[in-house]
């Protein structure tokens, strides 16, 4: 099976079931599939086909799902990109991915249109707005919904192998250069089964998607898992606690997969008792560590089981998960998912004993194919078939894993990876910055935040606001330091260590 045929099979079984809800918009599986097929035909008419890259820069909306699956149905590769990306970042990603077309919103198109002249391979800009909106088409510009309306809803899916690429997601690299993790049909089809197999989600369930679908956790735990079993999906594009509770009540949401910040927000929300959330069965938290002592409080308050999982983009992403109907160990990331083998090893590559901390490495159907056009970087993380995560952990007697830290220098803020070196390179590009060191700082809601120690050039007049404005030109908002501290030298280790 491939992702395109998976959607076809679900639509055959549940054509009249609600697939997607966003505000007043509701798409049945039949309507979703018809739009996917029509866009697939339109993309083929634009010259896209098997293994061609389709860049998607969209928020959580039905058009994201349509674009994602249209790519799958013509054998293309969906390159899902963070909507917070700056034009500087987008230009690099378009060129590095060899994207042939870009689908984005009209608001983003205004920001990105000027850079396309420097991305010669990306010959088509497809702009999304509501179905009733039809911007004028000219040159390489096209309206998303006009393309769908003008195209046939009958589409033949090409033959695809399990190892054919399906999606490319960029993750931060240690050197500061984003790397495109290539995920295959096998990777994502096996991941799509997890909600049904491990959490017993069926066509009667309704999920709430708050975390972005361009993030691999959002795509798998919400979109792919729901579509595999014919469940419905309620889309949100902004974090708003009042709206979250309203949607749970109105749409009878049964599960949520999100980052700890959302569940902590729900727990601390003063007006939570005003809402009937009895439909909620379970929640999955991942992307960052959930403070263990809040898990029982959440379960008691909402009468829903909150379970923790662990994954990374290179593993498509889920590696471990606590089962909603199994034993719970707050603070644990659960046990290995089916088809995945996990080891904890020391620096010599020898297996650690139970309770001993080492690097978590894994192999299985979820391990990515490669980093796109980065053979050396791929060899560094996949050794003899084992993906080296860079995360430190230990295993207990029952097979539960517990994370203890990171072997590699990385910050995880609200579920997004930030490599300090990328931020440091941008900071060092400001004329007033002589030297800088970027570190993580613990934060209850975000897990960690980005903090920068900066040595300024005394001859330059610049404050933190000017330097951060410079950062926002080149970095997505989540990568921009939330705290800046000016120091005389980076050897002030007592201050630096105190911040970690």
Q: What is the DSSP string of 417-440?
A: EE-HHHHHHHHHTSTTEEEEEEEE
Give ∠ CA 56-130-49 in degrees, rounded to 5: 35
Look up the CATH superfamily of 187-406: ANL, N-terminal domain (3.40.50.12780)
User: 414: closest CA among 366, 326, 478, 474?
Assistant: 478
- CB count within 10 Å of CB 28 equals 17
Give pTM, 2 decimals.
0.89
pLDDT of residue 289: 86
Record the tokens describing residue 76, joined without a space: 């293309």
Structure tokens of 449?
């935040």
* Residue 178 near residue 170 (C-beta atoms within 8 A): yes
Flag whether pLDDT at 134 surpasses 60: no
Question: Does pLDDT of 198 surpass 80?
Answer: yes
Q: Distance between CA atoms of 42 and 44, rounded to whole angstroms?
A: 5
For residue 130, what pLDDT band results from cuts at 50, 70 and 90?
low
Q: Which of 75-79, 352-356, 395-399, 458-462 has the lowest mean pLDDT?
A: 458-462
φ/ψ of 65, rounded to 5, equals -65, -40
Cis peptide leading into 317, omega within 30 of 0?
yes
Q: Are 420 and 222 in contact (CB under 8 A)?
A: no
Residue ranges with strand state E in 172-285:
179-184, 206-209, 232-235, 255-258, 282-285
pLDDT beyond 90 at 137: no
The DSSP element (H or E) to which 87 belongs, if any, is helix 87-97
- pLDDT above 70: residue 496: no
**Assigned token pair, 92:** 């690099």
CA separation for the pair 60, 49 (Å, rounded): 25
Contacts of 377 (CB under 8 A, 6+ apart): 173, 179, 371
Q: Which of 37-46, 140-149, 249-258 has the lowest mean pLDDT?
A: 140-149
DSSP string, 256-312: EEE-HHHHHHHHH-TTGGGS--TT--EEEE-SSPPPGGGHHHHHHHHTSEEEEEEE-
pLDDT reported for residue 481? 96
Nearest to 492 by CA among 448, 439, 430: 439
Rounded Cα gap, residues 458 and 435, in angstroms: 12
Q: At what angle do helices 3-13 and 62-73 cross, to 10 degrees?
A: 120
DSSP state of 351: B
Q: How many angstroms separate the Cα of 115 from the Cα of each of 91, 226, 345? A: 6, 36, 45
For residue 405, what pLDDT band results from cuts at 50, 70 and 90? Answer: confident
CATH 3.30.300.30 fits 411-499, yes or no: yes
Q: What is d(CA 4, CA 157) in angstroms, rounded to the nearest whole number?
A: 7
Domain boundaries, the chain: 3-160, 187-406, 411-499
CATH number of 3-160: 3.40.50.980
Distance CA 495, CA 333 (A): 32
Q: In this structure, how many other beta carbons lie within 10 angstroms of the beta carbon of residue 466?
A: 12
* 339 phi-psi bin (left φ>0, alpha ψ -120 to 50, beta other): left
Find tokens 């509770």 and name the residue: 245
Lowest-pLDDT range, 235-249, 271-285, 482-496?
Answer: 482-496
Segment 120-141 mean pLDDT? 71
Mean pLDDT value across the chain: 92
Q: Quick check: do 3-160 and 411-499 share a fold? A: no
Cα–Cα distance list, 256 to 25, 295, 307, 319, 500 (Å): 20, 15, 11, 18, 31
The token pair at 273 is 């008792």
Q: Are strands 165-171 and 401-406 parallel, antiparallel or unpaired?
A: unpaired
Residue 132 has pLDDT above 80, yes or no: no
| Residue found under tokens 């935040």 | 449
Of 147-151, 216-220, 412-416, the least confident: 412-416
Q: Average pLDDT for residues 358-372, to the nearest whole number?
A: 97
Tell me what the mean pLDDT of segment 233-246 comes to. 94
Phi, psi of 379 (to 5 degrees): -65, -30
């Amino acid at each position: 099976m491939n992702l395109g045929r998976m959607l076809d099979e679900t639509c055959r079984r549940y054509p009249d079931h609600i697939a997607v809800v966003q505000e007043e918009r509701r798409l049945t599986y039949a309507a979703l599939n018809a739009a996917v097929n029509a866009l697939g035909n339109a993309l083929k008419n634009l010259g896209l086909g098997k293994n061609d890259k389709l860049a998607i820069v969209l928020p959580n909306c039905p058009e994201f799902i349509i674009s994602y699956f249209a790519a799958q149905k013509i054998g293309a590769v969906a390159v899902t990109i963070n909507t917070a990306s700056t034009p500087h970042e987008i230009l690099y990603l378009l060129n590095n991915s060899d994207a042939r077309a870009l689908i984005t919103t009209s608001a983003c198109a205004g920001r990105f249109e000027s850079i396309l002249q420097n991305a010669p391979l990306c010959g088509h800009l497809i702009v999304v707005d509501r179905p009733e909106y039809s911007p004028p088409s000219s040159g390489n510009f096209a309206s998303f919904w006009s393309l769908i309306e003008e195209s046939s809803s009958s589409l033949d899916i090409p033959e695809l192998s399990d190892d054919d690429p399906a999606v490319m997601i960029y993750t931060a690299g240690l050197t500061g250069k984003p790397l495109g993790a290539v995920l295959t049909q096998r990777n994502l089809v096996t991941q799509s089964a997890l909600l049904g197999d491990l959490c017993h989600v069926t066509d009667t369930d309704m999920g709430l998607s708050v975390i972005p679908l361009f993030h691999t956790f959002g795509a798998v735990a919400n979109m792919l898992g729901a579509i595999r079993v014919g469940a419905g999906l309620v889309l949100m594009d902004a974090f708003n606690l009042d709206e979250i509770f309203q949607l749970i009540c109105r749409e009878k949401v049964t599960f949520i997969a999100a980052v700890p910040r959302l569940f902590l927000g729900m727990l601390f929300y003063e007006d939570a008792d005003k809402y009937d959330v009895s439909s909620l069965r379970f929640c999955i938290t991942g992307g960052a560590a959930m403070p263990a002592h809040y898990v029982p409080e959440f379960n008691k308050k909402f009468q829903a089981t909150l379970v923790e999982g662990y994954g990374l983009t290179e593993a498509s992403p889920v590696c471990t998960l606590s089962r909603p109907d199994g034993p719970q160990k707050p603070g644990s990331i659960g046990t290995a998912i089916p088809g995945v083998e996990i080891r904890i090893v020391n620096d010599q590559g020898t297996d650690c004993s139970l309770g001993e901390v080492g690097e978590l490495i894994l192999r299985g159907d979820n391990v990515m194919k490669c980093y796109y056009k980065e053979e050396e970087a791929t060899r560094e993380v996949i050794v003899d078939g084992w993906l080296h995560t860079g995360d430190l952990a230990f295993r207990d007697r029952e097979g539960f894993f517990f994370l203890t830290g990171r072997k590699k220098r990385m910050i995880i803020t609200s579920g997004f990876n930030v490599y300090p070196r990328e931020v440091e390179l941008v900071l060092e590009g400001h004329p007033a910055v002589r030297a800088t060191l970027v570190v993580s700082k613990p934060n209850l809601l975000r897990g960690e935040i980005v903090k920068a120690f900066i040595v300024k050039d005394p001859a330059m007049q610049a404050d933190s606001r000017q330097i951060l404005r410079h950062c926002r030109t080149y970095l997505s908002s989540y990568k921009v330091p939330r705290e800046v501290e000016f120091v005389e030298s980076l050897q002030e280790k007592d201050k630096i260590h105190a911040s970690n």
